[in-house]
Chains A and B, each alone.
Chain A
Amino acid sequence: MTEDAYVRMEDITKTFPGVVANDEVSLSIRKGEIHGLLGENGAGKSTLMKILYGLYTADEGRILLDGEPLEMASPQDAIDAGIGMVHQHFKLIPRLSVSKNIVLGMREPSARFRGDSDGLLSALTSARAVSGLARRFTLGLDEPETEIQSLADDYGFDIDVTSKVWELGVGERQRVEILKALYRDVDLLILDEPTAVLTPGEADRLFETLRELATEGLSIIIITHKLDEVNAVTDRVTILRDGEGVGTVETADVDADALARMMVGRDVLFDVDKEPVATGETVLEASGLRATDDRGIDALAGVDLTIREGEIVGLAGVSGNGQKELAEALVGVRETTAGRITLGGEDLTHASPRTFIDSGVSFVPEDRHVEGCADDLSVMHNAVMKGYGDEAFSDGPWLDYEATAEYAERLVDEFDVRGITDVEEITAGELSGGNLQKLILAREMVREPDLLVANQPTRGVDVGAIEFIRERLVEQREQGTGVLLLSEDLDEIFDLSDRILVIYEGEIVYEATPAETSRRRVGLEMNGGDAGPASRQVAVDGGHGESR
Chain B
Amino acid sequence: MKLDVELTPREQVPRWMGYGTPVFTILAALAVSAVALLALGVSPLAAYRLMFVQTLTTSFGMTETIAKAVPLIFVGLAVYLPLKAQLWNIGAEGQLFLGAIAGSWIGVNVSLPGYALLPLMFLAGGVAGAVWIAVPAWLRAKLGINEIITTLLFVFIAAEIKNYLVRGPMQAPGANFPQTAQLPVAARLPELPVIGFPAGIVLAIAFVAVIHVVLNYTRLGFEITFIGANDEAAEHAGMSKLKIYTVVLLSGGAIAGIAGVSEIAGVQGRLRAQFAPGYGFTAIPIALLGRNGAVQVMLAACFFAVLFVGGSSIQTLLSVPAAIVDIIQALVILFLITAEFFKQYRIDLSLGERPDPGATGSVEGDL
Q: Report how far A243 CA is from B366 CA in the complex, Å.
A: 12
Contact with A along B227-239 (1 / 0, CB 8 A): 0011011111110
Evaluate contact between B238 and A353: CB separation under 8 angstroms: yes
| Interface assignment of B110: CB less than 8 Å from any CB of chain A | no
- Using CB atoms, name the residue of chain A closest to B229: A374
Tell me if A391 is interfacial: C-beta within 8 Å of chain B: no
Instruction: Give residues 159-208 of B contacting A (CB, 8 Å).
Output: none
Question: A353-B236, A385-B233, A399-B222 known; 5 other A-B pairs, CB under 8 Å?
Answer: A42-B366, A56-B363, A73-B357, A373-B230, A385-B237
Hey, which chain B residues are within 8 Å of A42, CB to CB? 366-367
**CB-based contact B238/A376 at 8 Å:** no
Inter-chain CA distance A102–B340, complex, in Å, is 38
Q: How far is the CA of A41 from the CA of B365 in the complex (A)?
A: 11
A47-B367, A57-B358, A430-B11 in contact; A386/B220 too (CB < 8 A)?
Answer: no
Residues of B3-20 at the interface with A, using a CB-CB cut-off of 8 Å, are 11-12
Q: Does A352 belong to the interface (CB within 8 Å)?
A: yes
A389: contacting residue among B11, B219, B233, CB under 8 A = B219
Cβ-closest chain B residue relative to A44: B367
| Residues 363-385 of A contacting B (Cβ, < 8 Å) | 363, 365, 370-377, 381, 384-385
Point out the residues of chain B lying under 8 angstroms from A384, CB to CB. Answer: 222
- Complex contacts, B238 vs chain A, CB 8 Å: 352-354, 357-358, 386
Question: Complex Cα distance A48/B220, Å?
Answer: 49
In the complex, which residues of chain B have a beta carbon less than 8 angstroms from the beta carbon of A370? 230, 232-233
Known: A21-B367, A430-B11. A398 touches B232 (CB 8 A): no
In whole angstroms, how far apart are the Cα atoms of A45 and B366 in the complex?
Answer: 9
Please, which residues of chain A bring their CB within 8 A of the CB of B366? 41-42, 46
Interchain CB contact under 8 A, A388 and B357: no
Interface size class of B (residues with CB under 8 A): 20 to 34
- The CA-CA distance from A539 to B226 in the complex, in Å, is 46
Q: Which of B330-367 contact A (CB under 8 A)?
A: 357-358, 361, 363, 366-367
* Interface CB pairs A-B, < 8 A, 7: A57-B357, A388-B219, A397-B218, A399-B218, A399-B222, A429-B11, A429-B12
Set of chain A residues within 8 Å of B218, measured between Cβ atoms:
397-399
A381 and B221 in contact (CB under 8 A), knowing A365-B236, A371-B232?
Answer: no
Residues of B close to A73: CB separation below 8 A? 357-358
Scoring A16, A243, A374, A427 by chain B CB atoms within 10 A of each residue's CB, the highest score goes to A374
Question: How far, in angstroms, from A21 to B221 measured CA to CA in the complex?
Answer: 44
Contact assessment for A19 and B367 in the assembled complex, using a CB-CB cutoff below 8 Å: yes
Report the bound CA distance from A427 to B238 in whole Å. 21
- For B226, the chain A residues whose CB sits under 8 A away are 374, 377, 381, 385
| Interface check A333, CB cutoff 8 A | yes
Q: A21-B367, A57-B357, A57-B358 are in contact. Are A371 and B233 (CB under 8 A)?
A: yes
Q: Please, which residues of chain B bring their CB within 8 A of the CB of A333?
A: 235-236
Please tell me if A343 contacts chain B, counting CB pairs below 8 Å.
no
Closest to B221 in A: A399
**CA A370 to CA B223, docked complex, whole Å:** 17
Interface residue A408 (Cβ < 8 Å from any Cβ of B)? no
The 8 Å CB contact of B229, one of A47, A353, A377, is A377
**Interface status of A401 (Cβ within 8 A of chain B):** yes
Residues of A in contact with B (beta carbons under 8 Å apart)? 16, 19, 21, 41-47, 56-57, 59, 73, 243, 333, 352-354, 357-358, 363, 365, 370-377, 381, 384-386, 388-389, 394, 397-399, 401, 427, 429-430
Q: Are A373 and B357 in contact (CB under 8 A)?
A: no
Shortest distance between the CB of B251 and any CB in chain A (Å): 15
Output the least CB separation between A91 and chain B (Å): 16
- Judged by a CB distance under 8 angstroms, whether B104 is at the interface is no
CA distance A363 to B363 in the complex (A): 28
A399, B12: Cβ atoms closer than 8 Å: no
| A399-B219 contact, Cβ under 8 Å, with A56-B363, A376-B229 | yes
Nearest 8 Cβ contacts at the A-B interface = A354-B238, A374-B229, A57-B358, A374-B230, A386-B237, A21-B367, A353-B238, A385-B237
Q: Which residue of A lies closest to B226 (CB)?
A: A374
**Is B89 engaged at the interface, CB distance under 8 Å to the other chain?**
no
In this complex, the member of A46, A73, A389 whose beta carbon has the largest number of chain B beta carbons within 10 angstroms is A389
Known A374-B229, A430-B12; judge A397-B367 contact (CB<8 A).
no
| Contact across chains for B225 and A381 when beta carbons are under 8 A apart | yes
Q: Does B217 contact A (CB under 8 A)?
A: yes
> CA A377 – CA B217 in complex, angstroms?
15
Is the beta-carbon distance between A388 and B222 smaller than 8 angstroms?
Answer: yes
Please, how many angstroms separate the alpha-carbon atoms of A526 and B295 in the complex? Answer: 57
Docked complex Cα distance between A385 and B229 (Å): 12
Residues in B71-97 with C-beta less than 8 Å from chain A = none
- Roughly how many angstroms separate A353 CA and B235 CA in the complex, as a whole number? 8
Most buried by A among B225, B233, B367: B367
For B361, the closest partner residue in chain A by CB is A56
B222 contacts A381, CB within 8 Å?
A: yes
Beta-carbon contact of A372 and B233 below 8 Å: yes
Select B237's contact among A56, A59, A357, A376, beta carbons within 8 Å.
Answer: A357
A107 to B342 CA separation, bound complex (whole angstroms): 37
Given A353-B238, A394-B219, A398-B218, A377 and B363 contact (CB-CB distance below 8 Å): no
A363 to B11, CA, bound (A): 27
